[in-house]
Amino acid sequence: MKSTAVVFISGRGSNLEALLRNQEHFQIMAVLSDRSDAAGLRLAEEFAEEHDQSLAIISADRARFCTLSEQKHALYDAVDEIQPDIILLAGYMQLIEGEFIARYPQQILNIHPSLLPDFPGLSPHKMALEAGVAEHGCTVHVVTEEVDGGPILAQAKCPVEENDTEESLAARTLAREHLLYPWTVNAICEGALSVSPDGTVTSSEALTRSAEEHHFLLPPR
């Protein structure tokens, strides 16, 4: 049986699309957004129609709520009704509250476009260029209350090239994100990658080989 997933987005939704196109060991039940104008919501609607997939599209615009907390809770309540196995953040721009994280321990994942722990937070590509690093990349990690600070599940590298701009580096990184995120989520849902309550990440031997083939990095076994 496939694991059930929901995806949170705020914008373009290219990682959401990569996840939708690679639902091998998981099935996306709903896409949620803090903005009803997020392009990714249209994309999800079109995908659902084209593939005859039942997919709830849920948005909660800030203007509809008196407080930010009420807005966030509207989305959390929608997730609680679904009770998914896994919650995927894909370009979701709001901070997730501790109370919600505690309800889904080790079940909320995020993709961040840097080789964490380097360059957490906003503008990671700019920070990487300013730091003059030779390699950049992306990280899938478990969400904790520390922004971009939870246990690292998998990473993919890409080179920083001479004359790179923020845009060119972001595009090269994004291409790696689209491969890494679905691969990692499938590995978790298949049981080939797991994270214990203390944050220790364990991977199967087969997954370690697959990571080598894809040039992905897993935490040491």
Residue numbers at the binding site for ligand GRF (CB under 6 A): 9, 11-15, 40, 90-91, 111-113, 174, 177
Q: Which one is catalytic: 112, 125, 136, 141?
A: 112
Write the burial class of residue 21 (CB in 10 Å: 0-12 exposed, 13-18 middle, 19+ buried): exposed
CB of 11 to ligand GRF, least distance (A): 5
Q: Which is nearer to ligand GRF, 13 or 150 (CB)?
A: 13
117 cis-preceded (ω within 30 degrees of 0): yes
Taking the CA atoms of residue 27, residue 86, residue 19 and residue 119 in that order, the dihedral angle to the nearest 10 degrees is 180
**3 state SS of 113:** coil
Q: Which is nearer to ligand GRF, 41 or 201 (CB)?
A: 41
CB of 16 to ligand GRF, least distance (A): 6
Does 125 qualify as catalytic in the annotation?
no
Q: Which is nearer to ligand GRF, 84 or 91 (CB)?
A: 91
51: its two tokens: 């593939």
CB of 138 to ligand GRF, least distance (A): 6
Residues in the chain: 221
What residues are labeled active site?
112
